[in-house]
Each structure stands twice: as structure tokens, then as C-alpha cells.
A = this chain, B = another copy of it.
Amino acid sequence: MKKILVLGAGLSTISLIDYLLKNAEENQWQLTLGDIDKELAIKKVNGSPYGRAITFDVTDEQNTLKVISDHDVVISMLPAFMHMKVITKCIELKKPMLTASYATPEVKALNEEAKTAGIPIMMELGVDPGIDHMSAMNVINRIREEGGKLKSFYSFTGGLVAPEYDNNPWNYKFTWNPRNVVLAGNGVSKFINNGRYKYIPYHRLFDRVLKRKILNYGDFEVYANRDSLSYREIYGLEDIPSMYRGTIRRPGFSKAWNVFVRLGATDDDYIIEDSENMTYRQFINSFLRYDPEMPVEIKLKLYCVNSCDPEVFKKLEWLGIFDKRKIGLKRATPAQVLLKLLLGKWAMDPDDRDMLIMQHEFKYEVGNEEKMIVSAMAFEGENQEKTAMAITVGLPLAITTKLFLQGKIKRTGIVLPITEDIYKPVLDELKTFGISFDEKEYMMG
């Protein structure tokens, strides 16, 4: 019997646990699910003879060491900031560890230690990061084998509401952490275009969207992610002239969202005075000039000249930004006020399904030809529990765990799913769950 320890039984663990329990008998696995809330873990194990639930508190160092040492492999679904505590103990106890979270510089610095311990710490095994790495490397390595030289790699991912349930003027609902959506892009966005480094300040980010057809799935728009440059190293593309990663939204989203950005309504760094007794209308007005002779609506239009067209205005009005409803939040930042407003409007309905959409665009030279490969996938969730996000995070992590326990992945150190031994079997099995990439090849010029 191999003993698997899953730490954290939160929202995105459902597909992971389902998969592990379904494959437990055949593979002779015993699953332990630990969470600070034991009831939640019990619910997720759902009476399976191959699973048991325990109370797990990562801040209890002694118990954490004991629990980890009792298992053969650890999967951490804890919040990202808790991973270091788990990783250092896994290295100490020589226990392999897998997670969907980012390999931070702090984690990467443990590469040699993990190698010495003879175990892999496998990171970025979910989606963005995860499936994006696997599917990108799958094409990049093929191009290399063909003798091609990559000139440009654009990659986009988005979590959206599935088309059948897309019924608001923003064509958007919260399918993942809403706070992260409100703060998205805050900072600077960096990429490289034909050898020129490009930096977009936050207040212009949603102004500079790319329009894109996503293979088979229609029209979308994309805004740049914060750091596209660091991915060059991950993919071994240090010299690539163009590299850009972005987030997918439905057309028109960014132009309207940009109004909030330009107002300063997404700022999370200061407290609005008397936010509790303010109305949403006053909130919007607080970013506009004082003018007792003009309604807030007109002032907003004047503030956002060139960008506040009727389509944008319709979206804003639909949110209720001009309502005289009290905010009722004490000591709130602008971002917190905006989040409260949006939660009332962009929440998924109980029957809604979400969708994950991803597209890679590779341009490369081979011989005397310039070619382009577009590789895209879209995947709908099943319901509010088995969301596209939960499935696409949980499945590749679960499959990689299986492959590892079956001895098919023999690596040590800090490992990302960018080598064929990992991405090929994972992508192959993901296809059986309907998570598959369509590909199209073009000739340029």
C-alpha cells in the first residue's frame, strides 16, 4: 500500500480527491485528507474505504512532521503562503511532494537540497500554472525537433462563465477568487515584442488589449499579465524576440473595467473616509471633481472622454454604480467597496457553469518558411462544485501523482511539468476527461 497525504480540503480539491479515491483500489493507495476543519475533510472523503480524514494544522510543527513521516507522498492544497512549511519538512523527511502552486524563488532555492534528499518537489501542476506549461512545452519541443526556431510565443488563459450562462452586459462572472479579479494587473506588466522590452503601467493596461479569435470559440480580448518575461527561462526561450502572456475576457470587458481603474476605484492601499455611510454614487463621485451643477453621470462621462461610450455606460449602470444604496462597509478601501458591489452582480447563479479557455500562438522559422501554430482548448465545468477551475487544477495534479507513484516519473529537485516524461502522459490522460487542445498550423506572409 502507498500512502498519500493530501493537505487542505478546500474548494479546488474535489476532482483531485475523486480521482485519487477512484484509482485507489487498482493502485493500492491509501489516502489521508487533512484539513484544519476535519468535518470538511470527512465530507470530501465521503465514506471511501480508501480514505480517512484527519485534523491538520500546519502551524503545529511537531504534528506536521509526524503526519508527513507516516506517508509516502504529500500533495499540498494549502494556501500558497503555507507551502514553505510543508516543503522544508518534506525535504527533511525525504518525502516527495506535489502542488499546483507557483515555484517561488524561495522554493527554487531548495533545488539542491531536494536533489540531495533524492525526492522531487513538483510544483505548478494545476492550471495557469500547470496545463499551460505542459501544452506549451508539448508544441515548443515539437517545433524544436522539426528544426524550427521560435520567433514569438503568445499565451492566453481566462476563467469565464460558460456561453450558455453568459447573461449580463459584462459577459463576465466571478469563477475564481473575486478579490484577485478586482486587483488584477495592479503593478506593471512586462513583456517583449520583437526584441523590445515593453512595460505597461497599470492605469493603461486595460487600454492596450489584444483582440483575439480563440480557435473554434469565437472572439475575445486579452490584457497582458504582469510578468511575461520570467517565462522565457522556464521554457528555455531566453532569446525569443516576442513573449507575451495574457488574460482572456469577452470583448468590451476591458474598456468598461478601465473606467474603474482610471477612477482609482481598484486601489487597495488606503481607507475611504466614512465608507460605511457612503452610497455607491458618492463612492464614484469621490473620484470626480466637485461640481454642484453637474450630475455624477455627466462628470463620469467627462472624466473618461474617449472611453465612456454607450456600451461602457450600460455596463456601469447595470452594476448600480450610481445607486444611492449605502455601501455599509466599515473602513473599506476602494477595492473592497468595488468588490462588494461586484459580488452582488457577478456571482455565479446556482445552475451556472464556468469555463476555462486557453490559447497558445507560436510563430517560428523552419528552413525558409515562417509558420504559425495555434493551440487552444476550452473546458466547461460540470456544476458549481466541479467547476472547470477545480477540475483543471485537480486532475493534472492527481494524474502526475499517479504517474509518480507508478514509477513513471524519476526526477529529483524542484520540478516543473515542462519535460516530455511528465507532460506527455498527463496531457494524454487529460484528453480522456475532455481537456484537449485543438491545433491549427498556418503559413505566414
Pair A267/B203 contact, Cβ less than 8 Å: no
Distance in angstroms between the alpha carbons of A83 and B198 in the assembled complex: 41
Chain B proximity of A429: nearest CB distance (Å): 38
Docked pose: A287 CA to B272 CA in angstroms: 31
- Please encode chain A, from 196 to 208, with 1 for each CB lying within 8 Å of some chain B CB and 0 for all others: 1111110110001
Q: How many Å from the CB of A305 to the closest CB on chain B?
A: 7
0 or 1 for each of A220-264: is its CB under 8 Å from B? (1 = yes): 000000000100000000000000000000000000000000111
- A339-378 CB mask vs B (1 if < 8 Å, else 0) is 0000000000000000000000000000000000000000
Residues from chain B with Cβ under 8 Å of A199 in the complex: 264, 267, 270, 272, 286-287, 334
- CB of A289 within 8 A of chain B? yes
Which residues of B sit under 8 angstroms from A334, Cβ to Cβ?
Answer: 199
- Count the copies: 2
- With contacts A194-B292, A290-B194 taken as known, whether A201 is within 8 angstroms of B306 at the C-beta atoms is no
Proximity string of chain A (284-314) to chain B, C-beta cutoff 8 Å, 1 when within and 0 when not:
0111111010000000000001100000000
By the criterion CB–CB under 8 Å, are B198 and A286 in contact?
Answer: yes
A290: nearest chain-B partner, CB-CB:
B193
**CA gap between A258 and B288 in the complex, in Å:** 18
- State how many angstroms separate the Cβ of A79 from the closest Cβ of chain B: 24
A273 to B227, CA, bound (A): 12
Is A382 at the interface (CB under 8 A from chain B)? Answer: no
CA gap between A273 and B192 in the complex, in Å:
10
Q: Known: A273-B229, A305-B306. Contact between A282 and B203, CB under 8 A?
A: no
Instruction: Number of A interface residues at 8 Å Cβ cutoff, please give it.
Output: 35
Tell yes or no: A106 within 8 A of B by CB: no
Q: Are A290 and B203 in contact (CB under 8 A)?
A: no
A282 neighbours in B (Cβ, 8 Å): 196
Given the complex, which residues of B lie within 8 Å of A196, measured CB to CB?
282, 285-286, 290
B273 adjacent to A197 (CB under 8 Å): yes
Question: What residues make up the interface of A, taking CB atoms closer than 8 Å to B?
Answer: 187-188, 190, 193-194, 196-201, 203-204, 208, 229, 262-264, 267, 269-270, 272-274, 282, 285-290, 292, 305-306, 334
- Interchain Cβ contacts under 8 Å between A and B, 14 examples: A188-B267, A190-B273, A193-B290, A196-B282, A196-B286, A198-B287, A199-B264, A199-B286, A200-B287, A201-B262, A201-B263, A201-B267, A203-B262, A204-B262
